[in-house]
């Protein structure tokens, strides 16, 4: 079973850069997208059902902003659009699709880098999302939460960690929160479980030559419940083409 998570930084832009063709080759069973920057009415049929896949969407009310989606080879048994928290549901940050005993979530956790007000919104999101993660873990299902978590957990997860100790995305409170998700709620960071010593950057600033010099951050995760995480076999960050400022995170899991 192959699962891909990709922040496309505008789905229409990514499709113009070859993302549709990439999906044809990637042979994924599930694809989680973040930062669609589009309303459902703006999407072409190719974007809604690429290569015959089913699509589930949670678009932001604000045009050209945020939004998440899940593509799947088969139709979901059940779908949850949003978190049930109006402040964040207006921004299109959470969609869940259930398939038998498997649940696939696409998550776009807020960034706090643009202003202090957004950082406070990010902290509010963490406060309401933590009990949701606890509840989902307690369901006893195989579950993976894919997406742009906008937090680098450890020093290995960003190149310039010393220069970012006081910056959003690497604040002590944010890192502690991710640590609790892993160590207290027992969600597995699948990449780090597979590759303890490999940086695995998934995002690069557009400033300077961050991408060319690989001065990146690992802020895109697949967080899985224990049973599913134990079936993770291999993973890679796809960098052969550049669809956005993020790169797709691809994980292969053994089938049940």
Catalogue all structural domains in the chain, each as residue range(s) with its CATH number: 2-253 (3.60.10.10)
Q: Is 148 assigned to a binding site?
A: yes
224, β-bridge pairs: 144, 188
Please say if 108 is a catalytic residue.
yes
> Which letter does DSSP use for residue 110 in this model?
P
- Strand pairing class (68-72; 54-58): antiparallel
Q: What is the dihedral of CA 141, 253, 76, 227, to 10 degrees?
A: 0
Q: Are 101 and 227 in contact (CB under 8 A)?
A: no
User: Is 255 a catalytic site residue?
Assistant: no
Say if residue 167 carries a ligand binding annotation: no
Reduced to 3 states, what is the DSSP secondary structure of residue 184? coil
Is residue 211 part of the annotated active site? The answer reads no
Q: Which of the following is catalytic: 108, 201, 221, 253? A: 108
Is 46 part of any known ligand binding site? no
The answer to whether the annotation marks 206 as part of a ligand binding site is: no
Cβ contact 202:246 at 8 Å:
yes
Per-residue pLDDT in tens (0 to 9) along the chain, 256 residues: 999 999 999 999 999 999 999 999 999 999 999 999 999 899 999 999 999 999 999 999 999 999 999 999 999 999 999 999 999 999 999 999 999 999 999 999 999 888 899 999 999 999 999 999 999 999 999 999 999 999 999 999 999 999 999 999 999 999 999 999 999 999 999 999 999 999 999 999 988 899 999 999 999 999 999 999 999 999 999 999 999 999 999 999 999 7
Give dist(CA 126, CA 134) in Å, integer: 12
């Amino acid at each position: 079973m192959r699962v891909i998570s990709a922040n496309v930084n505008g789905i229409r832009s990514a499709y113009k850069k070859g993302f549709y063709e990439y999906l044809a080759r990637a042979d994924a069973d599930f694809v989680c997208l973040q930062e669609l920057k589009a309303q459902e009415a703006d999407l072409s049929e190719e974007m809604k059902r690429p290569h015959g896949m089913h699509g589930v969407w949670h678009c932001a009310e604000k045009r050209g902003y945020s939004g998440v989606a899940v593509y799947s080879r088969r139709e979901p048994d059940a779908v949850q659009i949003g978190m049930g928290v109006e402040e964040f549901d207006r921004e299109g940050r959470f969609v869940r699709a259930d398939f038998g005993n498997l649940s696939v979530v696409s998550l776009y956790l807020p960034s706090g880098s643009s202003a202090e007000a957004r950082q406070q919104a990010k902290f509010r999101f963490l406060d309401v999302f933590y009990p949701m993660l606890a509840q989902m873990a307690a369901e006893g299902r195989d579950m993976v939460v894919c997406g742009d978590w906008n937090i680098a957990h450890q020093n290995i997860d960003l190149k310039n960690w010393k220069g970012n100790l006081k910056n959003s995305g690497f604040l002590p409170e944010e890192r502690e929160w991710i640590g609790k998700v892993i160590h207290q709620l027992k969600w597995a960071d699948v990449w780090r479980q597979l590759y303890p010593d490999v940086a695995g950057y998934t995002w690069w600033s557009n400033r300077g030559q961050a991408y060319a010099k690989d001065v990146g951050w690992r802020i895109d995760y697949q967080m899985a419940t224990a049973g599913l995480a134990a079936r993770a076999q291999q993973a890679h960050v796809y960098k052969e083409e550049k669809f956005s400022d993020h790169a797709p995170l691809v994980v292969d899991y053994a089938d049940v």
